[in-house]
Amino acid sequence: MGNCSSAKLLARGIETIRISRRFASDNDVTLFPGDAQTLLDAMPERSVQLVVTSPPYNIGKAYERKKKTSVDEYVTQQRATIMRCAALLKPGGSICWQIGNHVSDNEVYPIDIMLYPVFRELGLVLRNRIVWHFEHGLHCARRFSGRYETILWFTWPGRAYAFDVDPIRVAQKYPGKKYFKGPKAGQYSANPLGKNPGDVWIIPNVKHNHVEKTAHPCQFPVELIERLILALTKKNDLVLDPFAGAGTAAVAAVLHGRRAAGAEVVPEYVRIARRRLIAAANGTLRTRPRERPVYAPSGSIAVPPWDTVR
Ligand X SMILES: C[S@@+](CC[C@H](N)C(=O)[O-])C[C@H]1O[C@@H](n2cnc3c(N)ncnc32)[C@H](O)[C@@H]1O
How many angstroms separate the CA atoms of 269 and 309, rounded?
27
246 interacts with ligand X by CB under 6 A: yes
Choices 1-9, 227-235, 240-248, 282-290 (CB under 6 A): range interacting with ligand X: 240-248
Closest distance of CB 234 from ligand X, Å: 22
Segment 20-49, which members bind ligand X (CB under 6 A)? 35-36
In the sheet where 7-11 sits, what is the strand order?
Answer: 7-11, 15-20, 29-32, 259-263, 238-241, 48-53, 89-99, 148-155, 125-133, 200-202
Nearest to ligand X of 138, 185 (CB atom): 138
End-to-end alpha-carbon separation of the chain, Å? 33
Smaller CB separation from ligand X, 150 or 248: 248
263 in contact with ligand X (CB under 6 A): yes
Rank residues 54 and 155 by Cβ distance to ligand X and give the closer one: 54
Should residue 218 be labelled a site residue for ligand X when binding is judged by CB under 6 A?
yes
Q: Is residue 127 within 8 Å of 155, Cβ to Cβ?
A: yes
Residues 6+ apart with CB under 8 A from 175: 188, 190, 192, 194, 294, 295, 296, 297, 300, 302
Please give the Cα distance from 187 to 181 (Å, whole number): 10
Contact call for residue 73 and ligand X (CB under 6 A): no
Tell me the window of 168-176, 192-200, 218-226, 282-290 that interacts with ligand X (CB under 6 A): 218-226
In 10 A of CB 122, how many CB atoms?
17
Q: Which residues of 86-115 are buried (b: 16+ CB within 10 A; e: fewer)?
A: bebbbebbbbbbbbbbbbbeeeebebbebb
**Least distance (Å) between residue 204 CB and ligand X:** 14
Nearest residue to ligand X on Cβ basis: 245
Between residues 99 and 302, which has the closer beta carbon with respect to ligand X? 99
| Site stretch for ligand X (CB under 6 A), options 156-164, 186-194, 258-266, 281-289 | 258-266
279 binds ligand X (CB under 6 A): no
CA distance 275 to 265: 16
Task: Select from 189, 264, 207 the least CA-distant residue to 37.
Answer: 264
Q: Examine residue 245 and tell whether it contacts ligand X (CB under 6 A).
A: yes
Interface residue with ligand X, options 47, 94, 172, 219 (CB under 6 A): 219
Residues touching ligand X, count (CB under 6 A)? 17
Check residue 248 for interaction with ligand X (CB under 6 A). yes
Question: Which residues here bind ligand X, judged by CB under 6 A?
Answer: 35-36, 54, 56, 216, 218-220, 243, 245-246, 248, 263-266, 269
